[in-house]
Every structure is written in C-alpha cells, then in structure tokens.
Amino acid sequence: MLARSSVERVGATAAVSRAPIAQIERFDRLIREAEIRLEEQESLVRQASLVGRNTAREDFDLQKMRLLLAILREAKERVRASVPSPRERGEG
C-alpha cells in the first residue's frame, strides 16, 4: 500500500514544476519513509516465517518496495544530474 501511495505522491509532484533542489529534498524524504517501512515489513515477514506462516504474498510486497526504492533513488540521481554545478553556472 505504501508503494502505491508513494508513487502517486511522486506522480503528483512531477506534474507540478518544482526547483530541482526541492525535488531532491522530497525524494530524500520519500526514500527515508520507504526505507523505514521496508525495515518494518521485513521484520514482520521474518517473524511470520519463524512461526511457519506462508509469506509468499508478503515476500512479493517486499520485492515491490525494494523496486520502489530503486526507482526513487534513480529519480533523485537524475534530478541531481540535471542541476548544473557551480562551475557550470560560472560561479566557481
């Protein structure tokens, strides 16, 4: 569920033109939130597997969360790469 809401928030952000620095900060926050949620979910899945519960669905959801994190990190790096360095701007 977090993956879907995060993607929706990112999509809404992309529709609104923002300064690259603000976009990077937003990606940082989304990445932190997703990492925390992923750690929580991994812990729950480990506990469930220890008691012998079938965790196939939860494992699939974890894969989706890991993919979301990779996409968010890649998007952040692309935005960062689009920001000219001070040297490119003639400031240094």
For residue 26, pLDDT over 70 is answered with yes
Residue 84, pLDDT score? 76
Q: What is the pLDDT of residue 83?
A: 84
**Residue 58: pLDDT band by 50, 70, 90 thresholds?**
very high
pTM attached to this predicted model: 0.70
Give the pLDDT confidence score for residue 4 in this predicted structure: 65
Long-range contact pairs involving 57-65 (C-beta distance under 8 Å, separation at least 24): 61/3, 62/38, 64/3, 65/2, 65/3, 65/34, 65/37, 65/38, 65/41
